[in-house]
Amino acid sequence: MKDKMPVHRHHEATGVAGIYVHVPFCIRKCPYCDFYSITDRAITPVYVEAVRHEMTMTALPAFLFDTIYFGGGTPSLLNVSSIEAIIGTAHQQFHIIPQSEITLEVNPGTVSKRQFEAYQSIGINRISIGVQSFIDNHLKFLGRVHSSSDARLAVAQAREAGFDNMGIDLIYGIPGQTQSSWLSDLKQAVVFEPEHLSCYMLTYESGTPMNADRQSGVFKPLSDEKVKDLFETTLEFLNGKGYVQYEVSNFEKVNPDTQGSAPNERYRSKHNQKYWFCDPYFGFGPSAHSYMEPVRYWNVGNVYEYIDLIKAGKRPVREKENLTTEQLMIEAVYLGLRTTDGINIKRFDRKFHACFHHLFGKALSDLHDKGLLTASQDRCGLTQKGMLFLDAVTNMLVDCLN
């Protein structure tokens, strides 16, 4: 019986799993983006059937699920009925508990009020809007298909349609950005009182057109110093507006009644927390990743190949790896440090039958002296300055394992 099914507990985060659906279509490619997506949307209906078929080929009876996340690409390019069909198949196939968090990423310029209302009616209860900036020049640089007024309209329409769990994504570190232009983006965002804000630093991923332009001197990136100042501005401004950082790039709105007393975790992205807590998640669609400790696997990246494999009745998995204990430790360190909760040392010690302080002791005191990290008996986390050097700090800790 489904409701008697045990929760599959790998460790003490939540143990409850998440479902990710990768929607690989965009109106056009943004030059900075390295997510897999294509602009040929003719095969969308075939893709939708393939994703549903992939779900029915995947048996996960030991898991309970409490999140479904439609990411991309541009999930808002799918018909509402297609999204509904995918959610329906997920419910038939997996044990998804009531009141699960169901998130859809949307792109301004691809949505309408009616569409948001329809999203509500099919059970989507969290909306994540890829605004990136409210400044047209920045949007142009980023190659976004929408204008700042499209962005404002989309946010307002989501609210009007009744979404009470809404996230806005912004990007900082854009060439030409100043403290005041970034502040104006943040100010504009908080006017809408979103429950969640993601502020991502612009990164230049290899293989992207924007990275090629940077390398050939078409534009000059912001200096590290300026980017660092923008990050600090973000923390300062958002804290003053009732937003609490819970991960390097993510902020939740706190309930004013509980602010300062108890942590308010109501508006954290439950789904994304699964990645940081090393909880199990299962991805469907091309390039989607899955994780079920200690196994990680990912699907073929190409949507046509993905569809062909599914049509042939094969699982579309490209590669599968078994993580070693050392790799699991590195993941736990890297992902734990991304969060403001930090690494739970007792949990780490229990999970790995090891002593965190003994393993990393030397690096911990160096990093502490540099003002990058704090470590108590129970918890190890980055300082604000440390968050700017996440990779370097992780590398220093990882060196201790060699």
Task: Round to whole Å and give the CA distance between 335 and 389.
Answer: 14
Stretch that binds ligand SF4, among 25-33, 152-160, 321-329, 336-344 (CB under 6 A): 25-33
Task: Round to whole Å and give the CA distance between 233 and 256.
Answer: 22
Ranges within 77-136 binding ligand SF4 (CB under 6 A): 107, 130
Q: What angle do CA 19, 24, 72 make, to 5 degrees?
A: 55
- Minimal distance, residue 167 CB to ligand SF4, in Å: 14
Helices (H), 221-282: 224-240, 270-277
- Minimal distance, residue 31 CB to ligand SF4, in Å: 9
Q: Is residue 65 a contact partner of residue 100, using CB atoms and an 8 Å limit?
A: yes
From residue 299, how far is each of 22, 62, 175, 336, 393 by CA, in Å? 10, 21, 34, 25, 30
For residue 167, give both structure tokens.
């996230």
| 201 is an interface residue for ligand SF4 by CB under 6 A | no
Per-residue x/- track, 316-355, ligand SF4 (CB under 6 A): ----------------------------------------
- Minimal distance, residue 157 CB to ligand SF4, in Å: 18
Within 8 A by CB and 6+ apart from 342, the residues are: 336, 379, 380, 381, 382
**Which residue has the closest beta carbon to ligand SF4?**
33
| 33 is an interface residue for ligand SF4 by CB under 6 A | yes
* CA torsion angle 302 304 308 309 (round to 10): 10
Among 8, 10, 15, 35, binds ligand SF4 (CB under 6 A): 35
- Minimal distance, residue 348 CB to ligand SF4, in Å: 34
Task: Round to whole Å and give the CA distance between 245 and 339.
Answer: 8
- Minimal distance, residue 128 CB to ligand SF4, in Å: 11
Q: What angle do CA 52, 54, 55 make, to 5 degrees?
A: 65
For residue 297, give both structure tokens.
């696997």
| 188 is an interface residue for ligand SF4 by CB under 6 A | no
| 74 is an interface residue for ligand SF4 by CB under 6 A | yes
| 41 is an interface residue for ligand SF4 by CB under 6 A | no
Cβ-based nearer residue to ligand SF4, 122 or 142: 142
Three-class DSSP category at 143: coil
User: Helices 345-352 and 325-338, interaxial angle, to 10°?
Assistant: 170
Task: Round to whole Å and give the CA distance between 31 and 169.
Answer: 17
Cβ-based nearer residue to ligand SF4, 107 or 273: 107
Among 16, 18, 22, 37, binds ligand SF4 (CB under 6 A): 37
| 249 is an interface residue for ligand SF4 by CB under 6 A | no
Ranges within 210-239 binding ligand SF4 (CB under 6 A): none
| 72 is an interface residue for ligand SF4 by CB under 6 A | yes
Cβ-based nearer residue to ligand SF4, 74 or 344: 74
For residue 85, give both structure tokens.
């069909």
Residues forming the site for ligand SF4 (CB under 6 A):
26, 29-30, 33, 35, 37, 72-74, 107, 130
